């Protein structure tokens, strides 16, 4: 096993674990670690529904100053940020927010393992990682069929209805998602992530384990990073498939570069992020560092923009997280109306999907991904979920939007077939 596979096997032995892997992706930058892992034997932290979760997070940080915190923000924290509700079906039952104080934090940098925090001697941590059980990709004994909760005909009708909302001026753009699910599905979550991560090699890959639940995520998108006083967000809007034929692949990539529809979607979300940043960043510091950047991954080409801003000195950034959440790339513009329509037209609570997994460092920095291209699993009920979607604008073609959902889940679905 490679070092990072040993780390995954070691982390999976704990009841609470977060494994973050940038897969040494060369073009995104802004990564402090190749792999970062946190584990806990006894849970110290918060696992809460929306209501007063962000206040509890502030209190947790105050109670454990200058310590690592790992965890996630679930999509339905929207109900705390805005006057919204969630009444859709929930087959996963995640808390809306979870953060914990890890017993041990380890990282890989320059191919070397570093023990960053440990309540046991570092040499013991090194020994336990070295002696972790063998980790193999999980391949189910029988095919797991992920069925759409929303029939295709109803999906297409919903896209047309959303286009009508755009025509009448209710919204400009909306992220519309659908769930593919399986019941009575037996998987090994860590082994499934092992396989998924090998297929997608995404820069914000995440394996998260909490009690009987697991997230297996191959995200290419960053939600929010704070380093010193600098905030950075990297929203994605614009997706194209890859081709094994180099000439065709180059032509597909060029079509994304030239797509007015995708550029329009992307710039709307860039403007939304700039507006979110303006609530907390110093005037004159908000910059679009890259607009319409094209990034290539094993299964897709993506259009990614980078926005930055400077917080006032000493601002911990928690309010900036709250006010930017849920991220515009997964909601729409205007954000609140888009989330109201998401509740109307989708069939499933998103859970961690469209949320963010990440960490706070002892010196007050943080980094969070956007949870997309992922599987969610409840081991107790053997419920398996994969959610995918895309931005709907007036120029959207319903059939093409449906095909984009299938494209975005290709590597994820391959990991359980």
Q: Per-residue confidence at 276, pLDDT binned at 50, 70, 90?
A: very high
pLDDT in tens, 154-210: 999 999 999 999 999 999 999 999 999 999 999 999 999 999 999 999 999 999 999
pLDDT in tens, 63-79: 999 999 999 999 999 99
- pLDDT of 407 > 90? The answer is no
Q: Does residue 383 sit in helix, strand or coil?
A: strand
CA 365 – CA 367 distance, rounded (Å): 7
Q: What pLDDT score was predicted for residue 416?
A: 72
CA-nearest of 91, 77, 73 to 180 is 91
Q: Which residues of 355-380 are buried (b: 16+ CB within 10 A; e: fewer)?
A: bbbbbbbeebbbbbbbbbbbbbbbbe
- pLDDT of 27 > 60? The answer is no
Q: What pLDDT score was predicted for residue 397?
A: 95
Q: What pLDDT score was predicted for residue 85?
A: 94
CA 394 – CA 292 distance, rounded (Å): 20
Active-site amino acid positions: 221, 237
pLDDT in tens, 350-399: 999 999 999 999 999 999 999 999 999 999 999 999 999 999 999 999 99
Whether residue 287 contacts residue 307, with contact meaning beta carbons closer than 8 Å, is answered with yes
pLDDT in tens, 327-354: 999 999 999 999 999 999 999 999 999 9
Percent of the chain beyond pLDDT 90?
89
Q: Per-residue confidence at 29, pLDDT binned at 50, 70, 90?
A: low
Average pLDDT over every residue of 47-55: 97
| 3-state SS record for 71-133 | EEECHHHHHHHCCCCCCCECCCCCCCEEEECCCEEEEEECCEEEEEEECCCHHHHHHHHHCCC
Q: Which residues of 147-164 are buried (b: 16+ CB within 10 A; e: fewer)?
A: ebbbeeeebbebbeebbe
Q: What is the DSSP letter of 282?
A: P
Mean pLDDT score across all residues of the chain: 94
Architecture of the domain delimited by 3-136+147-414: 4-Layer Sandwich (3.60)
Q: How many CA atoms lie within 13 A of 162 on its CB side?
A: 35
Cα of 316 vs its chain's centroid, Å = 22
Whether residue 30 contacts residue 19, with contact meaning beta carbons closer than 8 Å, is answered with no
Q: What pLDDT score was predicted for residue 112?
A: 93
Residue 184, judged by CB atoms within 10 A of its CB (0-12, 13-18, 19+), counts as exposed
Whether residue 28 contacts residue 234, with contact meaning beta carbons closer than 8 Å, is answered with yes
Q: Does residue 297 sit in helix, strand or coil?
A: coil
CA 39 – CA 17 distance, rounded (Å): 4
Whether residue 376 contacts residue 352, with contact meaning beta carbons closer than 8 Å, is answered with yes
pLDDT in tens, 277-286: 999 999 999 9
């Amino acid at each position: 096993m490679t070092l990072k596979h040993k780390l995954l096997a070691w982390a999976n032995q704990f009841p609470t674990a977060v494994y973050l892997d940038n897969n040494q992706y060369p073009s995104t930058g802004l990564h402090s670690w190749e792999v970062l892992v946190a584990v806990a034997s006894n849970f110290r932290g918060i696992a809460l529904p929306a209501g007063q979760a962000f206040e509890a997070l502030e209190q947790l940080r105050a109670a454990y100053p200058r310590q690592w915190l790992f965890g996630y923000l679930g999509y339905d924290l929207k109900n705390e940020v805005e006057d919204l509700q969630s009444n859709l079906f929930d087959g996963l039952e995640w808390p809306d927010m979870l953060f914990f104080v890890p017993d041990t934090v380890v990282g890989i940098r320059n191919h070397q393992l570093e023990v960053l925090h440990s309540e046991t001697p570092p040499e013991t941590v090194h020994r336990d990682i070295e002696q972790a059980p063998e980790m193999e990709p999980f391949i189910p004994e029988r095919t797991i069929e992920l069925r759409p909760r929303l029939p295709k005909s109803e999906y297409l009708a919903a896209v047309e209805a959303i286009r009508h909302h755009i025509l009448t001026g209710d919204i400009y753009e909306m992220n519309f998602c659908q769930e593919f699910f399986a019941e009575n599905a037996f998987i090994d979550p860590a082994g499934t992530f092992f396989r998924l991560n090998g297929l997608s090699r995404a820069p914000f890959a995440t394996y998260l384990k909490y009690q009987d639940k697991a997230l297996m995520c191959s995200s290419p998108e960053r939600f929010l990073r704070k380093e010193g006083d600098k905030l950075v967000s990297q929203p994605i809007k614009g997706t194209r498939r890859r081709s094994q034929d180099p000439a065709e692949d180059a032509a597909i990539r060029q079509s994304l570069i030239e797509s007015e529809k995708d550029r329009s979607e992307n710039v709307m979300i860039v403007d939304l992020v700039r507006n979110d940043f303006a609530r907390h960043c110093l005037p004159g510091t908000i910059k679009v560092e890259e607009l319409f950047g094209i990034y290539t991954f094993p299964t897709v080409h993506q259009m990614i923009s980078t926005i930055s801003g400077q917080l006032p000195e000493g601002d911990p950034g928690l309010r900036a997280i709250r006010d930017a959440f849920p991220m515009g790339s997964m909601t729409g513009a205007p954000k609140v109306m888009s989330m109201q329509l998401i509740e109307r037209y989708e069939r499933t609570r998103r859970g961690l999907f469209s949320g963010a997994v990440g960490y706070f460092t002892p010196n007050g920095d943080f980094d969070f991904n956007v949870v997309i291209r992922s599987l969610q699993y409840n081991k107790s009920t053997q419920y398996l979920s994969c959610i995918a979607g895309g931005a709907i604008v007036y120029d959207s073609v319903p059939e093409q939007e449906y095909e984009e959902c299938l494209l975005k889940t290709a590597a994820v679905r391959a990991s359980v077939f």
